[in-house]
Each structure stands twice: as structure tokens, then as C-alpha cells.
Amino acid sequence: MYEDEYYEKAKKIVKKKKEFRQSATAYAIMMPVLIVINLWTSPGYLWFFWAMLGWGMGLIGSYYEAYIKPKKESRDSHEIQKEIERMRRRDRDVLDLEPRRRDELDDRMDLREVRRDYDERDFV
């Protein structure tokens, strides 16, 4: 990745973390307020649980987006980079064979081609 790409990605992650913290703070402030309103106005039906559940599920999604997903993407990106490096090393090893061994491989390949090209009926 280039520096600009890193910067943009980091900027998005920081923004998501900030949004999560703001939402969690609002949740922590509003839930007690909703509980008091619920118990004061209609103590027979506890509806604040629905608000708590819905908002809480949203908070879980925000937490995942801000903290877990970037780590997972970073881990996947790291694994992909390691695999690319492994493939390059393997290809470099094949290309960097000793010249003598490379010639032997070429000779063997030529012999295989010769064996395939003749037909026994061509011989007297």
C-alpha cells in the first residue's frame, strides 16, 4: 500500500472509533434517563428494554466496525503479503538454478519431445 492509502484507511478507522465512543457515551447517558421515564410513567410495562436492546445491538455493530474488522483486514492483508512473498521466492529459486542443472533439465525435456515425435513404423 502507498502512504496515501494508509492515511485514508487510518482516517476512516479513527472516525469509526470516534463515532463508537460518542454513541457509547450517549447510550450510557440516555439509558438511565429512559429507565426513569419508563418507571415514572408506566411502571407496569418495562418498554425501556426494547430501546436498550435495539441501541445495544447497534453499539455492538459499531464496535465490530471500529475495532475488530480493521484487525481482521490487517491480518488478512498480512497473510496475503506473506503468500505473495513465498510465491516470489519459489519462482526465484526455480529461475536461479545452477546453469548446469538448468541445462540438464532442458536436455531431459528435449529427450521427452524426441521420444514422442517418432513412430516405430518410420524405422526399417
Distance CA 40, CA 44 (A): 10
pLDDT of 97 above 70: no
Cell of 93: 529459486
Number of domains in the chain: 1
Helices 3-41, 48-63: crossing angle, 10 deg rounding: 170
Would you say residue 78 lies in a domain? yes
35 neighbors 51 (Cβ within 8 angstroms): no
Label residue 3 by pLDDT band (50, 70, 90).
confident
Residue 122 domain-assigned (yes or no):
no
- Is the residue at 123 inside a domain? no
Asked, for residue 27, whether it belongs to a domain, the answer is: yes
Tell me which residue range forms the domain holding 14.
3-117
Structure confidence at residue 77 (pLDDT): 78
